[in-house]
Amino acid sequence: MSLFTIAVHGGAGTIRKEDMSPEMEIAYKQGLQHALEVGYAVLSAKGSAVDAVQAAVVSLEDNILFNAGRGSVFGKDGKHEMDAAIMDGSNLAAGAVAAVTSVRNPVKLARAIMAESPHVMLSGAGALEFAKLKGLVLEDESYFYSPFRFRQWQQIKGTDETALDHDVKLTDHAAGKAAAEKKFGTVGAVATDMNGNIAAATSTGGMTNKQWGRIGDSPIIGAGTYANNQTCAISCTGHGEPFIRAVTAYDVSCLMEYKGLTLEQAMQLVVHDKLLKIDGEGGMIGVDAQGNASMVFNSEGMYRGVKNSKGLNNVLIYREA
């Protein structure tokens, strides 16, 4: 039996201790811990990595604190369009959904596309139609409403500005200033199961006030999400456009495959060098088939956690060891 591991993230960005109330810090940490627990429970019951990452992401999608599923941000038209992907490193099977509305758990839709369709990616109305066909739970607009995110949207509504989750501080707006703070609230999970199979999943509401139809890196296989037993499973969070241009998750895999770098080395190079050169702010979590995990970011903080069968259990927010 190999070491089994789950890691999760709840977004990266300008996350500072001084801006966070103790209650919010506890709530975020509880949300991450819960996601770790549900994913770990799947792994310890001999479940697959792909089932574990799905379970962890569903728990984060159901948590209004995170920008995915229920807590998804408002787009330019006041709607919530969501992106998600899942990939199984044992066979390179992948499923993804882009710009879908109403679906309670977009990661489940991505899984259904992977398992029950001949396609890898569905978008918009067609994706919603497929969700209905598969009997997935749909919600009306009120389910996705949160006063906090509505206020975020109000601040830049009617402009061409887009903001990554929590991008505009209410005080900045009151003072008529542009956004100074950036946070990316996408969620993701990566896991190694007892059989040494790995998987990754990512889910997001994207960017506040985004153009309808805008698709970020999260659902793009190789950009925001990738898994291959030979190398790594990666889930990214950050400013989607540079992450797409850098083919970020697959680049980590390539550095391991072609250059023989370790997971940690490859992630460090991509996050702190390659992404930074194109203003790609954010981070990623990764595992390999041996159960090693890394969590690397170039922003001030990243909501993140890791748990493994050797007893490691860490939930972190800021730049801390």
Contacting residue, 5, 59, 67, 208, with ligand ASP by CB under 6 A: 67
Count the site residues for ligand ASP by CB under 6 A.
18
Choice from 72, 155, 186, 298 touching ligand ASP (CB under 6 A): 186
Q: Encoding tokens for residue 41?
A: 């429970």
The amino acid that residue 198 corresponds to is: I
Map residue 188 onto helix, strand or coil: strand
The answer to whether the CB of 288 falls within 8 A of the CB of 2 is no
CB of 63 to ligand ASP, least distance (A): 15
237 binds ligand ASP (CB under 6 A): yes
Nearer to ligand ASP, 282 or 291 (CB): 282
User: Does residue 305 sit in helix, strand or coil?
Assistant: strand
Is residue 66 at the binding interface for ligand ASP, with CB under 6 A as the rule? no
Q: And the tokens for 218?
A: 């999260």
User: Has 5 been annotated as catalytic?
Assistant: no
Of 101, 186, 208, 225, the active-site residue reads: 186
Which of 142, 136, 131, 126 lies closest to 79 in space, CA to CA? 142
> In a 10 Å sphere around its CB, with 0-12 CB exposed, 13-18 middle and 19+ buried, how is residue 172 labelled?
middle
3-state SS, residue 290? coil
Length of the chain: 321
Distances (CA, A) of 126 to 107, 109, 215, 220, 244: 16, 12, 15, 17, 23
Q: Decide: is 75 part of the binding site for ligand ASP (CB under 6 A).
A: no
Q: Is 71 in the site for ligand ASP (CB under 6 A)?
A: no
Q: Which of 79, 297, 19, 61 is nearest to 186 (CA)?
A: 61
Near ligand ASP by CB under 6 A, which window of 36-44, 117-125, 148-156, 235-243?
235-243
Exposure string of 133-171, with b = 16+ CB inside 10 Å and e = fewer, is eeebeeeeeebbebeebeebbebbeeeebbbbbbbbbee
Shortest Å, Cβ 169 to ligand ASP: 17
Contact between residue 39 and residue 309 where contact means Cβ atoms under 8 Å apart = no
**The two three-digit tokens of residue 50, written as one number:** 């792909």
Residues between 83 and 122 that touch ligand ASP (CB under 6 A): none
Residue whose CB is less far from ligand ASP, 31 or 185: 185
**89 vs 216, which CB is nearer to ligand ASP?**
216
Binding ligand ASP (rule: CB under 6 A), the pick from 63, 218, 253, 308 is 218
**Beta-bridge mates of residue 84:** 97, 203
Nearest approach in angstroms of CB 196 to ligand ASP is: 28
Nearer to ligand ASP among residue 186 and residue 308 (C-beta): 186
**Residues 129 to 148 in contact with ligand ASP, rule: CB under 6 A:** none
Report the C-alpha gap between 248 and 240 in whole angstroms. 10
Residue 206 binds ligand ASP, judged by CB under 6 A: yes
**Binding pattern for the stretch 30-59 against ligand ASP, x by CB under 6 A and - elsewhere:** ------------------------------
Q: Which CB atom, from 75 or from 95, has the smaller least distance to ligand ASP?
A: 75
To ligand ASP, the closest distance from the beta carbon of 55 in angstroms equals: 20
Contact 35, 11 (CB under 8 A): no
Q: Does residue number 184 form part of the binding site for ligand ASP (CB under 6 A)? A: yes
What is the contact surface with ligand ASP in residues (CB under 6 A)?
A: 11, 67, 164-165, 184-186, 204, 206-207, 216-218, 224, 237-240
Catalytic residue set: 186
